[in-house]
Amino acid sequence: MCIFCKIIEGSIPCQKLYEDEEVLAFHDVSPQGPVHFLVIPKRHIPHILEAEQDILGNLLFRAQKIAGALGCAEKGARFVINCKADGGQTVDHLHIHVIGGRPLSWPPG
């Protein structure tokens, strides 16, 4: 079982921000800014490449709502999905990163 599926089943703890039948959101364990949380599907979907339209919409909408609740509405934030090796994905369970609370550089290395 992957590490995020263990978080979903509760065998690994997380700092939960939001949960419904399909979606879980929690703070990243290694935050890259004052705000850094992850939004994941509760069903194990390895990469964005396998995801269907409805769950992508739900994940992104939830990321938007939580970013606003955490104070990112005025100055914004970075919404990121890393995919497979070239995208720098290290956990093979689809997740949206939201990083905010500081200015971020672009482009990535």
Query: Look-up: residue for tokens 């956990």?
Result: 91
Least CB distance from residue 29 to ligand 5GP, whole Å?
3
Site string for ligand 5GP, 55-74 (x = CB under 6 A): --------------------
Among 36, 93, 95, 97, the active-site one is 95
Secondary structure class of 89 (helix, strand, coil): coil
Which one of Zn ion, ligand 5GP, none interacts with residue 5, CB within 5 to 8 A by kind? Zn ion
Which one of ligand 5GP, Zn ion, none interacts with residue 73, CB within 5 to 8 A by kind? none
Least CB distance from residue 51 to Zn ion, whole Å?
13
User: Which residues between 34 and 93 bind Zn ion (CB under 5 A)?
Assistant: 44, 93
Contacts of 93 (CB under 8 A, 6+ apart): 2, 3, 4, 5, 40, 41, 44, 45, 46
For ligand 5GP, the binding residue among 30, 54, 74, 85 (CB under 6 A) is: 30
* 89 belongs to the binding site for ligand 5GP (CB under 6 A): yes
Contacts of 109 (CB under 8 A, 6+ apart): none
Q: Do residues 38 and 28 lie in contact, with contact meaning Cβ atoms separated by under 8 Å? A: yes
Query: Look-up: residue for tokens 């921000």?
Result: 17
Q: Which residues are catalytic?
A: 95
